Amino acid sequence: MTEITNLSSDLVELILSLLPIPTLIRVSTVCKLWHSIISSPSFSTLSNHSNQPWFFLHGIHNISSKNNQTFAFDPSSNTWFLLPTPQLHHRHQPNTSFIGTNSFFFITAPNFLYTPILHPSWHLTPPLHFPRINPLLGVFHDAKGSNFSHPKFIVVGGVKFIGNLVDIEDRLDVEIYDPLLGNWDLGPPLPPDFRSGNSSSSLSSALFKGKFYVFGIYSCFVSSFDLHHRVWSEVHTLRPHGAVFSFLVACKEMLVLAGVCNFPHGSSSFVLWKVDERTMRFSQIDVMPHDLLCSLFDGDEDDKFASLKCVGLGDLIYVYNENYHRMYPACVCEINGESGRCVWRKVPPLPSFMNRFHKVVSFCSTVSLHSILRELQGPDLQF
């Protein structure tokens, strides 16, 4: 009989690459050979775990930052992980200006700081030209660069922040930060159509094909900022019939509009529409199964849908209830880019050791398997 110790290292690597991440973490402690295989950069390339974006949920406790927690959901293993929470001195007021997107956490006021989600270490940038709270934030790479080029940050909209005071009337310029150069470049502000709501509480954003799209959750206005030419497009309106509110999501092959829609017969559903980025026309893709939508609520209040939020990336769209009384129930839809077929399923509950939060920050991000294993092999791992 051939034992596993007699197999070539290439074959062992192939077998290990098929295991879910929680199992990989455990088997990496079995022997030095398996640990070296799993820790190698080539293993990250071989494994398919990095293909599906993770869903991140960061809980903020207004009274004690020690109660903040960061959770990450891996759709491949259907597992929640508790990540080390980045700690910061209270004088930076993290609870009022904390944002997460695409592998990074940010604080925008009174100082601008950022840290990778995995292996957290805060970096202070030069001051924004216009300090602000609740802006939209994006992480992008130059079109001519590769996926391994350094990231840049774009800050759009938000509320002007001066000495603990805010100015809701001022339209703020777009600001773009290059960590290598260490400076902020200015761009034109959001088109005036968005004047009534520049905060991230009334806007959603999506990075798609070199453009940063901004969409009004309630106004349904949409415009895109060209990251190369640094100009805004014409403002369009994306309002499907019966739509109450919606979010714009960048999937792998298309822009998707996702939101609550009231139908003529009186029922409400959560609907997905495909958006043509050239014409800004839309067509319905799918409707969330009714029983799945009902599982996100425990009552029939008139305003129950107001607590629904939606984020997505790649082929996945997550919908969750940000009401802490319901422990943030969520579901996920996987869209097949070729056939357009949608498969919905419920996300398992968050771990029982979750704290109670006053606010949650959610987003999707791709993550490298090498970084995941390095982070999750630490003593703080819980899943």
- DSSP reduced 3-state for 189: coil
Comparing CA positions, the residue from 48, 49, 30, 28 lying closest to residue 38 is: 28
Task: Please state the pTM of the whole predicted model.
Answer: 0.87
CB-based contacts of 334: which residues, under 8 Å, 6+ apart? 75, 315, 316, 342, 343, 345
Backbone angles phi, psi at 9, to 5 degrees: -65, -30
Comparing CA positions, the residue from 155, 158, 175 lying closest to residue 167 is: 158
Output the pLDDT for position 300: 66
Q: How far apart are CA 302 and CA 298, in angstroms?
A: 12
Output the pLDDT for position 172: 87
Backbone angles phi, psi at 106, to 5 degrees: -135, 150
- Contact by Cβ (8 Å): 111, 127: yes
Q: How far apart are CA 379 and CA 270, in angstroms?
A: 40
Is the peptide bond preceding residue 84 cis, with omega within 30 degrees of 0? no
Strand partners, 82: 71, 382
Strand partners, 174: 187
Strands 308-313 and 136-140: unpaired
Comparing CA positions, the residue from 194, 311, 294 lying closest to residue 258 is: 311
- Residue ranges in the chain whose pLDDT is less than 50: 90, 92-95, 145-147, 379
Output the pLDDT for position 302: 61
